[in-house]
Structure 1
Amino acid sequence: MRIFKILYTVWAAFWLIVLFLILFPFFWIFLQKEEWKPKAHYLNRLWGKLYFPIVGIPIKVEYRFNPDVHQAYVFCANHFSYLDIAAMGVVLKNYYAFVGKSAIKKVPLFGYMFSKLHIQVDREDKGSRAKSMTRSIRALQSGRSIVIFPEGGIKTKRPPQMHKPFKDGAFMMAIQQQVPVVPISFLNNYKIMFDNQPPLSRHTLKVVVHEPIETKGMTQDDIEILKTRVYEVIQGELTSFHLN
């Protein structure tokens, strides 16, 4: 019944906020120095690891590839739900930076953490796009991975079909730095919560981490080829899952 879904959504939102408020003082401390930021990243992951079991949403990950925590990658995933951001910390052990929309920094407290720990971009502003690209490349050069949703946000109106075309940024930086692109399929995230629209439904959140796609030897002329390969891997898994 809808009333129970609404009550569950309120309860889940309560725990999301409470856990973050408990952790925020430690976030604030670890965000004061660059060398402490990996600890803030760990807290980010801990937030997700605590939250999903509390609200009864198990996360089942199929690792067809186990990323090396000492190597930098560009992780590309479909994006149908804001739950993806919290879930990614459970899926990946790597130290990474999200590339996300700059509007997030307006969210009280969470926006502060995101702006200090991750990379913001206003996709309507050419200067912001260039700045975020520069910061992303520096992160990759330092050995830190990048997580990006190449659809450019939650754009699709009919999941599990992804929005096309993909944005170029993820593929430009991967080719420039010659680092692998790792596709990730969130198979049923939209069934739990589509976009940011409640109420929530309880399901096991299912994720597939795919084999990496190497970029060594690629040039910027290969961006479209790389985009197509990543799209086909993620969308192919989504389509196969929903046909079975």
Structure 2
Amino acid sequence: MSRFFVNVYSIWAAFWFVFTFLLIFPFQFIFLQKEAWKPMAHRCNRVWAHLFFPLVGMPIRVRYEAGKPDPNQAYVFAANHFSYLDVASMMLIVDTYFAFLGKDVLKKAPLFGYMFSKLHIQVDRNDPKSRSKSLQRSYRALESGRSMVIYPEGGIRTSNPPQMHPSFKDGAFRMAIREQVPLIPISLLNNYQLLPDKKNMRLYPGSVKAVIHKPIETKGMTEADVENLRQQVFDIIQKTLDEYTANPKAHQNEFKRLTVI
């Protein structure tokens, strides 16, 4: 694929990203003013994703190992994180009301930062007080029936995708065990190929592909099980990434399209 085409496509996608976000933002702003309205703000994000991805010709395809997660059940979703596309695509991949646990630097982005800070949970990983506060907010979210989406690598930390950073943070696993809610691993198979984490970021055409794995029940688990649960999730995701890399065409008929295009 020529560099010229990729540059033009990237500019085209950036235009639609901004245009559709600005189109939706006034409605988001209204719904962010009251806690009871925030599920509607989340729906606005899903509407945005349903606009953006078809407009740039980027289908979202998901393979469910055990069917779609129950929308009435709170979960902790844990996924690998290699690309900034991971956040945007997750708005369609996870079809339930959820909060991201993300870095507090995101709130500095114009408009997007306002939305993120009001709707999701920020953490400064270098500040123990911030980490503690974010965990407490996450517990409350789960107790209210809202799911959590977390990238246990703690950001885009690997330099060699699809190999994940070898050390997962404990937060997602402590959270799921404390609240006794199921934990669902998610393998984001190829976002790093579509939007590589490089200095001069370029978006490449293609389909976003993800696998939503079977829920892991945490009922009966204690703090002593955190390490084993963390390793289990790491192994599930890494094995799936390795299998996809070795044979990208495997399971093709099992992927379901979540977008109109």
Instruction: Say yes or no: TM over 0.5.
Output: yes
Question: Does residue 123 in structure 1 map to residue 125 in structure 2?
Answer: yes
Match of 2:164 among 162, 165, 189: 162
Aligned match of 1:88: 90
User: Which residues of 2 match residues 45-64 of structure 1 at below 5 A?
Assistant: 45-64=46-65
User: Which residues of 2 match residues 20-35 of structure 1 at below 5 A?
Assistant: 20-35=21-36
Aligned match of 1:185: 187
Please say if residues 171 and 227 of structure 1, whose CA atoms lie closer than 8 Å, have aligned partners that are also in contact. Answer: yes
Cα deviations by residue, 1:1-38 (Å, 9 ceiling, x for unpaired): 11111111011011000100011100100000000000
User: Which residues of 2 match residues 130-209 of structure 1 at below 5 A?
Assistant: 130-195=132-197, 197-209=200-212
Aligned match of 1:9: 10
Q: CA deviation at 1:200?
A: 1.1
Cα deviations by residue, 1:84-138 (Å, 9 ceiling, x for unpaired): 1111111111100000000000000000000000000000110000000000000
Judge which range, 117-126 or 46-55, deviates more.
46-55
Question: Does residue 211 in structure 1 map to residue 214 in structure 2?
Answer: yes
CA distance in 2, matches of 1:55, 1:63: 25
- SS of aligned partner of 2:228: helix
Judge which range, 152-161 or 188-197, deviates more.
188-197
Please say if residues 6 and 198 of structure 1, whose CA atoms lie closer than 8 Å, have aligned partners that are also in contact. Answer: no
May I ask how many residue pairs the two structures share in their alignment? 244
CA distance in 2, matches of 1:199, 1:89: 21
Q: CA deviation at 1:195?
A: 2.5
TM-score with structure 1 length normalisation? Answer: 0.98
CA distance in 2, matches of 1:98, 1:58: 22
TM superposition outliers: structure 1 runs of 4+ over 6 Å? none
CA distance in 2, matches of 1:139, 1:80: 26
CA distance in 2, matches of 1:86, 1:47: 9
CA distance in 1, matches of 2:176, 2:197: 27
Aligned match of 2:233: 230
CA distance in 2, matches of 1:77, 1:54: 26
- SS of aligned partner of 1:62: strand
Amino acid in structure 2 at the alignment position of 1:34: E
Aligned match of 1:19: 20
Cα deviations by residue, 1:18-70 (Å, 9 ceiling, x for unpaired): 10001110010000000000000001111111111110111111111311100
- SS of aligned partner of 1:161: coil
TM-score with structure 2 length normalisation? Answer: 0.92
- SS of aligned partner of 2:23: helix
Amino acid in structure 1 at the alignment position of 2:123: V
Please say if residues 196 and 202 of structure 2, whose CA atoms lie closer than 8 Å, have aligned partners that are also in contact. Answer: no
CA distance in 2, matches of 1:47, 1:163: 31
Taking only the aligned residue pairs, the percentage that are identical comes to 59
- SS of aligned partner of 2:16: helix
Gapped runs of 5+ residues in structure 1?
A: none
Q: CA deviation at 1:201?
A: 0.8
- SS of aligned partner of 1:143: coil
Gapped runs of 5+ residues in structure 2?
A: 248-261
Please say if residues 122 and 128 of structure 1, whose CA atoms lie closer than 8 Å, have aligned partners that are also in contact. Answer: yes
